[in-house]
Structure formats: C-alpha cells, structure tokens
Amino acid sequence: MLVKWIRCAVVDRRGFERGQRKWAGLLGEPGFRGQGGGWSRARPGVAHLFAFWESRAFYDSFMARSHDRLAASQAGTFKDSRSRLFEHRFDVKVGFKPVFSDVDVARVAHCRVREDRVEHFTLMQEKVWNPAMAGSPGMLRGVFGEAPGSEFLVLSLWDSAAEHGKYRTERVERLALRTQIEADVSALAGDVVDLEPAWAV
C-alpha cells in the first residue's frame, strides 16, 4: 500500500473546504483505498491530507489521468503545498484500514533517520512504540511507512484528542529514552490534526 501525505498552507479556508469535497470523485478510481484529513491544532491555516492507494502503479495512473481535473477546484486556495509518498511497511495495531469515520484526531510524525540506524529505528518502532500505542485507550489504528533516503512516516488515528494527550503525557518521554530515539533520528517533525468528517472519502 502507498501512503501519500500532503501538507498545505491555506489562504482561502472556505474555498479550500469547498474544493476538498470534490475529492469524493476519487471513489471510482482503480486502486484507491481511502482519504482523510483536517486542520493542524498547532499551526493555524495548515491542512494535512492522507491518501491511500493499493500500489504505486495505480497512483501513477491516477496522477496521469484524473488528478488535475479534481485538483482544479482548489486552485488558488493554498500556497506552499508539500506532498510525500511512503510505502507501507507495517500496521501500528493490527488490521489497518484507511477509514476516518470513527476518528477524531490524527497524529503524524515525519522522521529522518541516520542511515546506519535505520535497522534499529525500525525494530524499536515495531517492538516498543507499536505495542505502547496499540495498548493505549483511544488509539484506533495506524500505519508505519518508509520513503527513499531513510525517511519514515508514523500516522496514528485516535478517537479523541483527550486520549492522545494522555498517551503523550504518560508515555512518550519514557519510551523515547528506552528506544534511544535521539541516536536514531536526525530530524523529527510532527503535528496533531483535527480531522474534518466532510473530507473523508
């Protein structure tokens, strides 16, 4: 599965939201699995979107055929759009499905990992971070993806901001020490996203 993460600095919020509803047109696309998104809690005007495709081939075909037609309705509503593609490595909690109807907030972490530490970082994600997140009340599901150049995406979906906040307060510092994350990661950027139900496809 291919995961696409898009981040936009929105200049016309109403126009952007109106255009976002047009992406319902993705439903007929071969290989499309789901899409959702919302607004950054920390950065006003920043929108995050997460799209899921069965494979790179299906995604490339969509980009060549239908993307520009769907995207046209949002032209001029944002600036500084960045998108990245990640190959699904494993689920955070079992049985990931790109469904957003039961989700309140998403937590996205983008990690650049030192090349000689990739194996350790991946192992710690699988053996320490994943079970800790999976065992947290309110954590519904998530995905761990990898891009060329030792880049990783950890996306977790939560049923409430309050539950995510508890997990952060109680566990993150302790887990970071245990997994030696500072030795693994050269850069880490993250955000908490309030999901918009109307954007789910």
Q: What is the pLDDT of residues 90-104, one digit of tens each?
A: 999 888 999 999 999
Listed as own residue / partner, the contacts of 68-74 with beta carbons closer than 8 Å and 24 or more positions apart are 69/25, 70/22, 70/23, 70/25, 70/26, 73/18, 73/19, 73/22, 74/15, 74/16, 74/19, 74/20, 74/22
Average pLDDT of every residue of the chain = 94
pTM of the model: 0.94
Cβ-Cβ contacts under 8 Å for 30 (sequence gap 6 or more): 58, 61, 62
**Residues forming beta bridges with residue 37, ordered by sequence position:** 49
Q: What percent of the chain has pLDDT over 90?
A: 85
- Mean per-residue pLDDT for 33-60? 97
User: Are 28 and 34 within 8 A, CB to CB?
Assistant: no
Instruction: Give the pLDDT confidence score for residue 90 in this predicted structure.
Output: 95
Alpha-carbon distances of 142 from 44, 117, 135, rounded to whole Å: 25, 23, 12
Domains, the chain: 2-199 (3.30.70.100)
pLDDT tens, 86-137? Answer: 999 999 988 899 999 999 999 999 999 999 999 999 999 999 999 988 888 8
The backbone torsions φ and ψ at residue 92, rounded to the nearest 5 degrees and listed phi first, read: -100, 110
At 147 the pLDDT is 98
141: its two tokens:
């599901």
Residue 45 near residue 13, CB atoms below 8 Å: yes
> What value, to the nearest 5°, has the Cα angle with vertex 107 and ends 104 and 113?
165
DSSP structure class, residue 76: T
